[in-house]
């Protein structure tokens, strides 16, 4: 009887608020050393390789013919394909590590023991990673555009942000970063290991587009459904020259749809895979 009187009722467990989950995922993301290195690689490659490409155009401008000058798309130097290759790899790696790293260390199991709401935890992780990568991507794209066009303006070859296609190119290059990060998260949620997830993301985002062309309708549809070819279409500001024939060209609306589909499907796959399978 005395023991019963002395026993205190257990305090009710208060469910974690979603903002608390966001704060926890924010701490997790920035506590990883690889995050800092990957984000630095994205920013440096975006701006540094843009400057390198623009300076090459600046140096060769005097030797170009009038026809070559007329065909120049200033966005090619602002967002060279070499820079985007590094961006895609680094962004996919950040997403893969954010999920795969917790599987490897067992932190995900500990997190779910403290917060059983798996969908809420995974949703918070997706929002934090996507938000950080969006800010970084747009910052890098805007900086690369501004610096490159300032250099080209000395040759009267630059463009302003108000010209047709300029803002679209900045947004497309910046938003490619979170799209690839979400793809990396999706692959990591499926395979549960960081290294295979990074390889799978690199193969799907970079290698697969090189295996298909736009000569046949079905191969064109497959190519247009990939983020990197969609980005390539979005930074084009004019039609291809007459001597280049594309049987089934991509559309601007189709390219934006590819971005949205990859982001939505990757997020959905991440949530479902983490929710349905034990860590």
- Residue 54 and residue 151: Cα distance in Å, rounded? 7
Give the span between the Cα atoms of 162 and 165, in whole angstroms.
Answer: 8
Domain that includes residue 233, residue range: 16-276
Query: In this model, does residue 2 exceed pLDDT 50?
Result: no
Q: Per-residue confidence at 277, pLDDT binned at 50, 70, 90?
A: confident
pLDDT interval class at 270 (50, 70, 90): very high
- Residues 6 or more apart whose CB falls under 8 angstroms from that of 47 comprise 140, 143, 144, 147
Does 183 fall in a domain? yes
242 and 161 Cβ atoms separated by less than 8 Å: no
Burial class (CB in 10 A: 0-12, 13-18, 19+), 14: exposed
Least confident range of 6-10, 61-65, 145-149, 234-238 = 6-10
Q: Tell me if residue 164 falls in helix, strand or coil.
A: coil
222 lies in some domain: yes
**232 located within any domain:** yes
* pLDDT of res. 3: 47
Average pLDDT over residues 10-17: 61
State how far the Cα of 264 lies from the Cα of 151, in Å rounded to an integer. 37
In whole numbers, what is the pLDDT of the chain averaged over residues? 89
Q: What is the pLDDT of residue 8?
A: 52
Q: Residues of the chain with pLDDT > 90: what percent? A: 64
The answer to whether residue 79 is domain-embedded is yes
Q: What is the mean pLDDT of residues 58-71?
A: 87
Question: Quick check: is 5 in a domain?
Answer: no
Number of Cβ atoms within 10 Å of the Cβ of 190 = 18
Q: Which two tokens stand for residue 55?
A: 């300076």
Phi, psi dihedral angles at 155 (to 5 degrees): -105, 10
Which two tokens mark 241? Answer: 């020259």
In a domain, 10, yes or no: no
pTM above 0.85, yes or no: yes
Phi-psi region of 152 (alpha: psi -120 to 50; beta: other; left: phi over 0): alpha
Q: Enumerate residues 6+ apart whose C-beta is below 8 A from 176.
A: 84, 87, 88, 91, 137, 227, 228, 231, 259
Is 1 part of a structural domain of the chain?
Answer: no
Count of the separate structural domains present in the chain? 1
In this predicted structure, what is the pLDDT of residue 59?
Answer: 92
Other CB atoms closer than 10 Å to residue 276's CB: what's the count? 8
The pLDDT assigned to 34 comes to 84
Asked if residue 113 is part of any domain, the answer here is yes
């Amino acid at each position: 009887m005395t023991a019963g009187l002395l026993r205190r009722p257990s305090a009710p467990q208060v469910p974690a608020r979603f903002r608390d989950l966001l704060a926890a995922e924010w701490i997790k993301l920035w506590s990883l050393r690889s995050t800092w290195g990957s984000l630095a690689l994205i920013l440096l490659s975006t701006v540094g390789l843009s400057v390198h490409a623009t300076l090459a155009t600046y140096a060769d401008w005097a030797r170009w013919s009038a026809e070559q000058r007329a065909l120049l798309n200033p966005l090619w130097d602002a967002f060279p394909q070499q820079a985007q290759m590094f961006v895609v790899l680094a962004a996919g790696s950040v997403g893969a590590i954010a999920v795969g790293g917790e599987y490897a260390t067992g932190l995900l199991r500990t997190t779910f023991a403290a917060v059983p709401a798996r969908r809420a935890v995974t949703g918070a992780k997706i929002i934090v990673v996507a938000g950080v990568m969006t800010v970084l991507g747009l910052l890098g794209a805007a900086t690369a555009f501004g610096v490159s066009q300032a250099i080209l303006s000395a040759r009267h070859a630059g463009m302003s942000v108000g010209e047709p296609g300029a803002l679209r190119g900045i947004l497309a290059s910046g938003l490619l970063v979170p799209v690839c990060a979400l793809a990396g998260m999706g692959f990591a949620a499926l395979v549960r290991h960081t290294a295979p997830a990074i390889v799978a993301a690199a193969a799907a985002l970079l290698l697969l587009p090189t295996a298909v062309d736009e000569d046949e309708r079905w191969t064109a549809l497959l190519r247009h459904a990939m983020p990197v070819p969609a980005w390539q279409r979005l930074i084009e500001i004019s039609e291809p020259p007459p001597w280049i024939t594309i049987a089934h060209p991509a559309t601007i609306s189709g390219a934006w749809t590819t971005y949205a589909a990859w982001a939505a499907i990757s997020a959905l796959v991440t949530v479902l895979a983490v929710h349905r399978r034990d860590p």
